[in-house]
Structure formats: structure tokens, C-alpha cells
Amino acid sequence: MKRAFIAGAALLLSASALADECGNASTQVEMNTCTAQQYQAADKTLNQTYQAVMKRAATPQRDLLKKAQQAWIALRDADCALIGSGTAGGSVQPMIINQCMTEKTNERDAFLASLMQCEEGDLSCPLPPSS
């Protein structure tokens, strides 16, 4: 329950941040640039969270996490290519893809962060509780 709350709060905050940061962009190029920067920031945060989870995980979980992360990247990229396909060739396509990548990256970050909140006795959580 605690993990679901944390994940939900992170998603709400990321959606409002997206609207606030790009609200002043007035051209498509500015919106594309803004959303690209947001994706880069989300990706950086995800990478930090991923590294923290990797440090906490035992060796078998590290191997599984690495495989899961690679599979997730492929799924995210394929999903966002699909989402952006409706605007193929248009100037808005980079923005649509960047927004998708940011949203999915923030969702993944929230999920991985929830793994860092494992409580003692929670058998559904693969990481040991924090000390």
C-alpha cells in the first residue's frame, strides 16, 4: 500500500511539472526542446534510482533487474514509437515521443523507488529492507 502511494504521488508530481515547465513555450521547436530536456532529466533520475536499487539487491536480483530493465527499455521505446506514429513526419512528433518517454520513465522510476521501500516481512518485495 505504501509503495502504491509513493508511486502515485510521483506520477502526479511529474505530470504537473511537465505542464508547468513547458507552459511558456510558444513555438513547436521550443516545446520539442523543452520536452526533450524533461525526458533527459527523467532519464537521469531513473538511472540514479536504478543504481541505488542495484546496490541494494543481492546478486541473483541484480541479474534479474538488469534483464527486466533491458526489457522495459525495449517496451518503452516501442510503445512511444507507436504513440508518435500518428504524427510521423510532423513537427509535433518529437514532442509527442518525448512526452511519452518522460511519462513512462517517471512511472518506471516510481516503481523502482517503491522497491527501495520494502518493509520487513514483505515477501512480495525482492529487496531487503533498508537498515
Within a 10 A sphere around the Cβ of 38, how many other Cβ atoms? Answer: 22
Question: Which pLDDT score, from 0 to 100, does residue 131 have?
Answer: 66
Task: List the grid coordinates of 31.
Answer: 516545446
Check pLDDT > 90 for residue 11. Answer: no
Residue ranges of domains in the chain, CATH in brackets: 2-115 (1.20.1270.180)
CA 7, 13, 14, 16 torsion: positive or negative? positive
Q: Write out pLDDT tens, residues 24-77.
A: 888 999 999 999 999 999 999 999 999 999 999 999 999 999 999 999 999 999
